[in-house]
Structure 1
Amino acid sequence: MTSTELPGAAVPKIETDRKSLWARLMDYDLGIIPLPIYVLLLIVLVSFTYMGKIKGDIAFVIGIMAAFAFTLGEIGKRLPVVRNIGGAAVVVTFVPSYLAWRGWIPEQMTSVVETFFKSTGVLYIFIAAVIVGSILSMERTTLIKGFMKIFVPLAVGSVCAAAVGTLVGTLLGLGTWDTFFFVVAPIMAGGVGEGAIPLSVGYHGITGMDQGEVLARVMPAILVGNLTAIICAGALSSLARRRPDLTGNGKLQPGGHDDLLAGTEMKTDGNVQNIAAAGMIAVTLYLTGALAQQLFAFPAPVVMLALAVAMKLFHGITPRLQSGSYTVYKFCLTAIAYPMLFAFGIVLTPWEKLIEGFAPANLITIVVTVVTMTASGYFTARLVNLYPIEAAIVSSTHSGMGGAGDIAILSASNRMMLMPFAQIATRIGGGITVALALILMAMLA
């Protein structure tokens, strides 16, 4: 009797084991993609590529960006040494630039990603969601004190970086004029759209140089400066793990409790209505900033930032919207940040320009400038009661390529919650740098 029961008893066990294996595979994610779905996605993309049928539909773009971004992200997290200095963000940002340059990413894929990235403005919506979500879910006292205090390390860092960077470049034979205006100033100008282009227009108007020539000269400094800042942020994150007394793990300053959710821990919200409402707040503030830029020539991100801060300071956000904003913010970090970095690497980081910045004199000058800025933020933080590592990371974003650069730098340090302060460094600090550089060139030309 026992012998006849054993085979029948084994069947349910085999079925259970199979289900258990499938469940384990489905619960193992590459980035945000369950492993079996990841394999299926790769097969589908390869098949469409082989048939030459890759389209510009949003589903294709999402699939391409997710497959490449999360694959590269997993590689970056596992690379020795590199993984300790923000390797995932570095790999996701800069490896696609090399792969596209070598033609190892099919042209039909790069084409649809570039078209989508440029035509939809998806980067700006992503940044809006991160900025608004992080501000509205931030401790109110932190927001009030932090915005005032962060200007100290930023100002000190900018002055020190400009002085040291210009001196080093001059000593290396680049010349004081070329070092300051074509290396140091572009690094701190706030990126391409907000920094390099206004500088090129201004330099053209003052000196008569061809605008394209100016762009070609300043782009390597911006690209390599951004890469250096990413590495600095990753190194600071590694230091934070060894010296917890130097970091707030994403908090800019010690102390502070939120007046709306006092005594509670911020958690993601499962209420779809609250999440959708918070998302619409981000979109509306972004559009309001865009309108202000059209009507008054005010930078759209700065207007959006100011409106979000005002809503928070004047109790314009209720607890349900604050919780929903935090969910929007966390979703963007988890699901969208790496795909945005991948597109950024393909579209805005041409490999040829990046390589130009590695000429020895240029490279040393750029690295010294960014490290000086970051170190100045670190050492002046205690003067205004900020955590040194967080202040240094925010200071390093002054070397970022606009919003996309901020994403890469903060991702490398796992401190995306510092985005509002990074935007101050990038947008306001960059605008001040551009204005001062043009005024100084006009005076000296």
Structure 2
Amino acid sequence: MLTNEETSFFKDKKQRKQLKVEKSKEKLDRYEAKQIQILEKQILETQAKFEKSNEKLDNKHQAKIAKLTANNADPKVIEEVKNYFINRKAYLNEGVEVALKNLSLAKQDLIDGLASAHENNIRINLTTIDYKISKINYKRSWKNLEKEADFSQYKGKEKQEKVRTAQKELFASGDMLWKPMGLRWEDYCLSLKNRWELWKSNTQIKIHQCSQWSFKEWVNLKIWTIPLWMYLSFVGILVATILTGIVEANMIYGPAILLTIAIISGVIFSKIPIWKKYFGGAVMGSMFVGAFLVYFGVISNPGKLAGVEWNVGHHVYASVEAWFKNQDFLSLYISVLLVGAVLLIPRKMIIKATGGFFVLILAGTLLGVALGLVGSLMTGMSVKNLILYYALPILCDGNGGGIQPIGKIAEKFGYDNELWVTRALAISTLASIMSVIAAAVINGVGKAKPSLSGNGKLMLHDIHTVDRSAKANDHTIASALLMILMIYMLSDLFEKAIFTEERIKILVPNFAWMIIICLLLNLFNVIPTDMKLSAEKINKFISKQTTWLLMVGVGIIYIHLDEFIKALNPEALFISFLFVLGATVGPMLFAKMFKFNAVESAVSAGLCMTAQGGSGAIAVLGASERMNLMPFGQITCRIAGSMILIFAAIAFAQWPPEGNEIVTNLGGVL
């Protein structure tokens, strides 16, 4: 369907692009040869260093054994010395094997990355031309078909069906590269319908199976791995202790109450499809259950009801508050998350992030704040409200590693912790939902404009590493827990005794110091591998098995539902949208400069920043069909998001609390 002039134009263009691809391939080949030469040199140097160390160790071993033999030493001592040198040699061998494996992986990453870059060049420069030709051919063919078929003789649904059938036939008869929006939308709706039908049929099958169960099978039904009869027994015990008034404010009753509520609420909300995907699933559901229990007076804060006689709801609140707030389980949870998140990110990934990737994160953050400022001028919002109640909640590391520690920082500057956390969670949830939707949109942009996408590849080549073999056992897990507690104590020491506000003229909170300490420990590689693995186990246990419990506690202690609902207004929608828009566009503007792909940059460096922590980042990566970017998403939401804690201290110092923001001695607000 192309004219002779158009055919000639596209042919010339394709030839020019082909030359461009070939020149690019030559550059990539030269770069590959140079980098492989460097890596091979490093491999030879590593092997030479190992041989030298091995020889030195053998000489030392022989000299020691000869000396002991000459001095008629006890044979047991000689045997122990031999075993010592054997272990030293095994450790040295493992070290060189790990080093050589990492260099081999780096070599393979380089080759794979450059091959991917070449494929990307072909797709951007050549495939896009075929795509444009396909689009022109289809549109012109469709115009001719419309004239011939005369669809105007049909009306309503019949006309729609005739048009759609003709479009499908025309698409199938062509090269099938460019697909009109109507057909793509129909495919999307069909996929939704198929998923719905599958879910419905699976549900019907499950219901039918349940209807056939015996009483024994029903009572042994498992909720969160707990048989139903056992869980109901736990509920009965809990209700009995509450009704008899023996509930005490200690660290036994508090977690028991929270975990019992969290199990049923988490299980229910994790099964609701739309809520699970867009509204935070079990995590946010558990928080709302806790908040509603307080809102409807089932549980109530006795500290805010002077002169009122205590009831069972007051005892429950006091018990939860004692463990969750007064005994500070929240600080333990945050510490485990922060230490584990930073220590477990590969060193090479952190080093890479200190370059161009952090620039992308910064670009998205700054543009988001800039657009937020424009929005605040349009709506009349103060800069203080914009920064404290929008920028900090949206850009921090979700709830556990961001909003909760910032709430504690706010409290140190005289703000009401509960009020700030309530507002912050509302805005963070709103921005996270928008981020997931934006991720799906940007995925569509990548498909429509292949030149902006790397098909899941963020940069030229990936980073893979291996470490020394190690296993976590009971002792190393206990040691890792001690390490986490000591890092918390050291950060407290820095905040309250060494780098105090009086000395450095700014309050740097202990959680910010924890991030700095862990970054340095990771970069200098001073933590043994077995302790890192143990910290990972503690991190997984705390983050996966106590997050529902934590969120029920947050809902009970910190969330004021009426304030939460007030925070979700048209102004909040508009400002949150501007932050998400800025975080999306910012990285895309600088991606090419630092040899990153635009779509992947927007997803990993932008939207993972505005999403709600690790779970929000997973939702964003899932919606964008780029789960392989998880390590970079974790750098964004964990490290960059955690850095917001430092800026939070500066922001709260800059703007003292006013009016109802001020906390009173009784725990209420003025």
TM, length-normalised to structure 1: 0.73
CA pair 276-117 structure 1, distance change in 2 beyond 3 A? same
**Match among 627, 633, 644 for residue 429 of structure 1:** 644
The one-character-per-residue Cα deviations of 1:363-398 (angstroms, maximum 9, x if unpaired) are 22343244235424664685554664333354116x
Q: Distance in 2 between matches of 1:293 and 1:223?
A: 26
Cα shift at 1:288: 0.6
Assess if the C-alpha contact under 8 Å between 1:61 and 1:113 holds in 2: yes
Assess if the C-alpha contact under 8 Å between 1:225 and 1:367 holds in 2: yes
Is there any run of 5+ residues in structure 1 with no aligned partner, and where?
1-16, 203-210, 401-405
Match of 1:6 in 2: none
Sequence identity (%):
18
Assess if the C-alpha contact under 8 Å between 2:266 and 2:285 holds in 1: yes
Assess if the C-alpha contact under 8 Å between 1:377 and 1:392 holds in 2: yes
**Match among 260, 269, 278 for residue 76 of structure 1:** 269
Q: Distance in 2 between matches of 1:330 and 1:279?
A: 13
**Match among 327, 337, 361 for residue 537 of structure 2:** 327
Assess if the C-alpha contact under 8 Å between 1:219 and 1:353 holds in 2: no
Match of 2:514 in 1: 304
CA pair 233-75 structure 1, distance change in 2 beyond 3 A? farther
Cα shift at 1:291: 0.9
**Match among 506, 528, 542 for residue 318 of structure 1:** 528
**Match among 598, 605, 610 for residue 396 of structure 1:** 610
What amino acid maps onto 1:391 in structure 2? Answer: A
Cα shift at 1:352: 2.3
**Match among 314, 317, 326 for residue 107 of structure 1:** 314
**Match among 559, 571, 577 for residue 368 of structure 1:** 577
Assess if the C-alpha contact under 8 Å between 1:233 and 1:410 holds in 2: no
State yes or no: 1:341 paired with 2:544. Answer: no
| SS of residue in 2 equivalent to 1:312 | helix
Match of 1:142 in 2: 349
CA pair 170-356 structure 1, distance change in 2 beyond 3 A? same
Q: Distance in 2 between matches of 1:47 and 1:333?
A: 30
**Match among 88, 91, 105 for residue 282 of structure 2:** 88
| SS of residue in 2 equivalent to 1:81 | helix
My pick for the range that moved more, 220-229 or 318-327, is 220-229
CA pair 201-274 structure 1, distance change in 2 beyond 3 A? closer
CA pair 136-34 structure 1, distance change in 2 beyond 3 A? farther
Q: Distance in 2 between matches of 1:379 and 1:226?
A: 23
CA pair 87-354 structure 1, distance change in 2 beyond 3 A? same
My pick for the range that moved more, 193-202 or 161-170, is 193-202
CA pair 215-308 structure 1, distance change in 2 beyond 3 A? closer
My pick for the range that moved more, 385-394 or 414-423, is 414-423
CA pair 130-358 structure 1, distance change in 2 beyond 3 A? closer
| SS of residue in 2 equivalent to 1:58 | coil
Q: Distance in 1 between matches of 2:459 and 2:390?
A: 24
CA pair 215-134 structure 1, distance change in 2 beyond 3 A? closer
**Match among 243, 247, 258 for residue 465 of structure 2:** 258
| SS of residue in 1 equivalent to 2:252 | helix
Q: Distance in 1 between matches of 2:258 and 2:443?
A: 31
State yes or no: 1:182 paired with 2:375. Answer: no
Match of 1:132 in 2: 339
CA pair 410-44 structure 1, distance change in 2 beyond 3 A? farther
Match of 2:569 in 1: 359
The one-character-per-residue Cα deviations of 1:112-166 (angstroms, maximum 9, x if unpaired) are 2122222122112112112222333332211222355553243223322223223
Cα shift at 1:169: 3.9
**Match among 331, 341, 361 for residue 154 of structure 1:** 361
State yes or no: 1:56 paired with 2:249. Answer: yes
CA pair 182-73 structure 1, distance change in 2 beyond 3 A? same
Match of 1:44 in 2: 237
Q: Distance in 2 between matches of 1:201 and 1:123?
A: 16
Assess if the C-alpha contact under 8 Å between 1:97 and 1:350 holds in 2: yes
Q: Which has the higher contact order (CA 8 A, sep 6+)?
A: 1
The one-character-per-residue Cα deviations of 1:60-98 (angstroms, maximum 9, x if unpaired) are 111111112222211211223111123222212233213
Assess if the C-alpha contact under 8 Å between 1:278 and 1:325 holds in 2: yes
How many residues get paired? 393
| SS of residue in 2 equivalent to 1:256 | coil
| SS of residue in 2 equivalent to 1:78 | coil
Q: Which protein shows a greater Rg?
A: 2
**Match among 560, 583, 599 for residue 350 of structure 1:** 560
Q: Distance in 1 between matches of 2:472 and 2:481?
A: 14
What is the Cα-based RMSD across aligned positions, in Å? 4.2
The one-character-per-residue Cα deviations of 1:320-377 (angstroms, maximum 9, x if unpaired) are 112212211111122112211221222222212212213333x223432442354246
Q: Distance in 2 between matches of 1:44 and 1:187?
A: 43
Q: Distance in 2 between matches of 1:270 and 1:434?
A: 36
